[in-house]
Amino acid sequence: MKSEAIWKDVEEYINRKVVKQSAFQSEVLDISEKEGLPPINVQPPEGKLFSIIARSINAKRALEIGVLGGFSGLWILSGMENGTLIGLEKSEKHARIAKENFVKAGYGNNATIMVGDALSSLNHLIEDKAEPFDIILIDADKPPYLEYFKKSIALSHSGTIIFVDNMVWNGDIANRNDKSESSQGIRKLYDQLELDERVVGTVIQTVGTKGYDGFAVLRVS
């Protein structure tokens, strides 16, 4: 069995040869580390996928649930031509850092961050009859994953792509002895997806600098 060291080496090779993230995207990770943000950003290959999908569907409106330092949001914005992103972030510090990064990258007028509880912010968007989003990323606290998904559906249209990060959770989703709130929150979303005919999708397992995890790609019917 290959070691985690090999996973990281391969990811770095892929990043160098294919992903080719910008110097500023790399700088954003350095800024996040310097500011003491947790190292839980998406892996660069996953971020590049966001960009490719956004460009492929000609996305103009994006919603990100969980912004952190703005790394994944920058990938999404890079795939949109004159598109806009609304980010939901609970931490004022994270929101400030992300906004600064969006401005430095030239997306200051394209990105808005709503600070506060994500479920409350989602309710406000629904109540205000916000225009549906073309691409949505769910990457926040895990216990409310099912509620994030339901509200994302309410803010979608036919063809919206919904990404959900951390859907493998180091394999703990398949360990019924793991009763943590995070694992149970993710499993509730799986139970919904098993029966929900409003979306078609898949889950991709990943290994790399973040260890063993994975993400879902869902298309709203």
**Whether 141 contacts 114, CB under 8 Å:** no
**Whether 187 contacts 168, CB under 8 Å:** no
State how far the Cα of 62 lies from the Cα of 77, in Å rounded to an integer: 8
Tens-of-pLDDT digits for all 221 residues of the chain? 568 889 999 999 999 999 999 998 999 999 999 999 999 999 999 999 999 999 999 999 999 999 999 999 999 999 999 999 999 999 999 999 999 999 999 999 999 999 999 999 999 999 999 999 999 999 999 999 999 999 999 999 999 999 999 999 999 999 989 999 999 999 999 999 999 999 999 999 999 988 999 999 999 99
Could you tell me the residue ranges of all domains in the chain?
Answer: 4-220
DSSP for 39-50, written as a single string = S-PPPHHHHHHH
Which superfamily does CATH assign the domain made up of 4-220 to?
A: Vaccinia Virus protein VP39 (3.40.50.150)
DSSP for 199-215, written as a single string = EEEEEEEEEETTEEEEE
State how far the Cα of 172 lies from the Cα of 167, in Å rounded to an integer: 10
This prediction's pTM:
0.96
